[in-house]
Amino acid sequence: MARATIQQRALDRARLEYPGPIVREAVGSERLEIALAKGGTQRGSGGRGKRVVIVYHYFAHYREAVLRELLEHGRHTYDFAGDTKDDGKGIRLTDAIPEDRFVRAPCRYLGPLMLQPRALGLALSGTYDALILLGNAMWPTMWLAAILGRLRGKRVYFWTHGWQQHERGLKALVRNTFYRLAHGLLLYGHYAKMIGLSHGFDPDRMHVIYNSLDYDRQRAVRGSLDADAIAARREACYGSGDLPGVIAITRLQRAKKLHMLIEAAALCAERGSPIALLFVGDGPERAALEAKAEAMGVRAHFFGACYDEHAISEMFAASHLCCIPGPAGLTVMHSMANRTPFVTNDDVSTQGPEYEAVVPGETGAVFRDGDAADLAEKILACVGNAELMSGGGRVCPVSIIERFFNPVTQRVLIDRAMDGDSADDLYAAFNGPLYTTARAGSSSESPAVASAD
């Protein structure tokens, strides 16, 4: 198929079928035309399922859904190798991996470096056909495991964020040399792939597999919500008035630039359109944020840390928008899985790949980084957008989750890479929603969550 035809095909599909403002702006570029024209043209040999080991430093609880999907529904046999404790950050680990599918691989940390000797044994072992390694170029073990795995005839892949910004000099040389050790990269987003293309990497070898949370659970909780409970939650968090509610659910730290949300709320009030804020989370900036909200006369409720998914889902349902003025990662997924549009800044070099799910006017908005006035304008534009705030508009965030950012789509795209298929940037768009197909026949949701209005 001609490049122009594929390019037009991508643009003509429903608005949410090719995610993110970043990719939309790049669709006309020569590099993306090449990626689209080549995507999916090579098919693997198929045949028997492969034995694959995924080597991480540890497996955090928030990865549990995709690990379970690979274990239960993967076309290949996936084992998992990692440590049984985290790296000191207090991250809770998953207990979902059966003992017979888990290889204990302790880690030793020397500053920013990590050593994991067991990974080298797995690379040399004849047990596995392929290695999926955590793609961190700062960890010597991953360099050695990739080299040894290739020498033993294994297929080697790096599961990685990839490039977050254009790099030069020694940093670019080291990263690009490391990535070239692998047969393929499993990337979280399209922006990283575009940078890879600019460095001369083959688009067929860069598989965009997105990211996800436990969408099965989130969907079930969302469908169980009660309209009266949502109304009560809204009054408890935002007060008895009808002000638009904006939730920020994150650790309260300076990097998230949450002070800007309070400044934007004050500007909204100055323009005659006040809003109310809800902060869910705790952290070192809480006292300063509370003082700032009081000083600026902004209605803000600080809920504190919350790990109850039902309560969190109620709070999302009671809100009009979710906003993180600083870098946003998995919170984007959490918000959209709960049908809540998302607002964040436009500095892609600091954003997580989940940022690509924010499609202005459809799943949320982006504002000029550091500009509280523009943030206020974008918030008011969103809450004033009747379609975005309606029950029908609230389907858009869910649609992009069910088409791209879910464990089923991740599993299918990882399976394709292990099959030896070339990367296909449009596979999830033209063969989905893969999640909906896989979960066909599951219970429908309650209409109680249709809107926060």
Under 8 Å between Cβ of 427 and 416? yes
Under 8 Å between Cβ of 43 and 74? no
141 vs 16, which has greater pLDDT?
A: 141
List strand residue ranges (DSSP E) for 263-393, in order: 276-280, 300-304, 321-323, 342-345, 364-367
Strands 77-82 vs 102-104: parallel, antiparallel or unpaired: parallel
Which residues sit opposite 102 in a β-bridge? 80
Instruction: Tell me the average pLDDT across 403-424.
Output: 95
Collect all residues with Cβ–Cβ distance below 8 Å to 232 and sequence separation of at least 6: none
pTM comes to 0.86
Arithmetic mean of pLDDT over the chain:
87
Tell me which DSSP letter residue 226 carries. Answer: -
Q: What is the pLDDT of residues 101-123, one digit of tens each?
A: 999 999 999 988 999 999 999 99
Distance between CA atoms of 18 and 39, rounded to whole angstroms? 14
pLDDT at 43: 60
425 vs 109, which has greater pLDDT?
A: 109
Under 8 Å between Cβ of 416 and 209? no
Q: Is the pLDDT of residue 48 over 80?
A: no
pLDDT at 246: 98
Q: How confident is the model at residue 73 (pLDDT cuts 50, 70, 90)?
A: very high
Q: Is the pLDDT of residue 187 over 70?
A: yes
Least confident piece of the model among 276-280, 296-300, 354-358: 354-358
pLDDT at 44: 59
pLDDT at 398: 87
Q: Is the pLDDT of residue 92 over 70?
A: yes
Distance between CA atoms of 11 and 28, rounded to whole angstroms? 10
What is the token pair recorded at 287? 């006292």
Among the four given CATH numbers 3.40.50.2000, 3.60.40.10, 1.20.120.430, 3.40.50.300, the one describing domain 216-401: 3.40.50.2000
Distance between CA atoms of 184 and 202, rounded to whole angstroms? 9
pLDDT at 395: 78
Q: Is the pLDDT of residue 293 over 90?
A: yes
Least confident piece of the model among 99-113, 227-241, 305-319, 427-441: 427-441
Q: Is the pLDDT of residue 423 over 90?
A: yes
Q: How confident is the model at residue 10 (pLDDT cuts 50, 70, 90)?
A: very low
Instruction: Tell me the average pLDDT across 19-47.
Output: 48
Q: Is the pLDDT of residue 28 over 90?
A: no
Q: What is the pLDDT of residues 228-270, one digit of tens each?
A: 999 999 999 999 888 999 999 999 999 999 999 999 999 999 9
Nearest alpha-carbon partner for 90 in 282, 349, 344, 288: 282
pLDDT at 390: 81
Q: What is the CATH code of the structural domain delimited by 39-212+406-422?
A: 3.40.50.2000
Instruction: Tell me the average pLDDT across 211-216.
Output: 94
Distance between CA atoms of 79 and 29, rounded to whole angstroms? 39
pLDDT at 162: 95
- What are the sequence ranges of the domains in the chain? 39-212+406-422, 216-401
